[in-house]
Amino acid sequence: MKKGLVLSAMMLTAMVSMAKDIKTVVVTTQPQMHCENCEKKIKGNLRFEKGVKQIECNIDKQRVTITYDADKTNTDAIIKSFDKFGYKATEVKKEVPAEKGEKKASKK
């Protein structure tokens, strides 16, 4: 019984230490993406950046969603990597909806 309990605790500890910190960042680019070639250029260059796991481009919304391993890179490094192939990236901040009952500031 003790062996099983100790083994389970060791396995749980190993799993937690091996867990990766996967994060996502959404950016918009300048110049804007307007065709599939723009999308291919972005995906083709970003895939070589250390820690990048997945890249999704949405031409209609002008957004690039990048999933990355935070242990290997960070948002700033990903944004700077766009400069290498002629784009300027700006992070799109998530909009937080106002809570009910919260008054909006009025301009005078």
Per-residue pLDDT of the chain (108 residues; tens, 9 = 90+): 777 777 777 776 665 556 578 999 999 999 999 999 999 999 999 999 999 999 999 999 999 999 999 999 999 999 999 999 999 999 998 765 555 555 555 454
* Dihedral angle, C-alpha 36, 39, 45, 49, nearest 10 °: -150
Helix (H) or strand (E) holding 53: strand 52-58
Burial 34-45 (b: 16+ CB within 10 A, else e): eeeebbebbbeb
Helix (H) or strand (E) holding 66: strand 63-69
Q: Which pLDDT value is given to residue 6?
A: 75
Q: Which pLDDT value is given to residue 108?
A: 47
Tokens of 44: 């083709």
Q: Which pLDDT value is given to residue 93?
A: 87
Task: Give strand pairing partners of 27.
Answer: 64, 91
Query: Mapping DSSP to helix (H, G, I), strand (E, B) and coil, where does residue 5 land?
Result: helix
Q: Which pLDDT value is given to residue 54?
A: 97
Tokens of 30: 């300048």
Q: Which pLDDT value is given to residue 22?
A: 92
Q: Which pLDDT value is given to residue 16?
A: 56
Q: Which pLDDT value is given to residue 4?
A: 75
Pairing of strands 63-69, 22-30: antiparallel
Tokens of 42: 């972005």
Q: Which pLDDT value is given to residue 103?
A: 53
Q: Which pLDDT value is given to residue 80?
A: 96
The single-letter DSSP state of residue 83 is: G
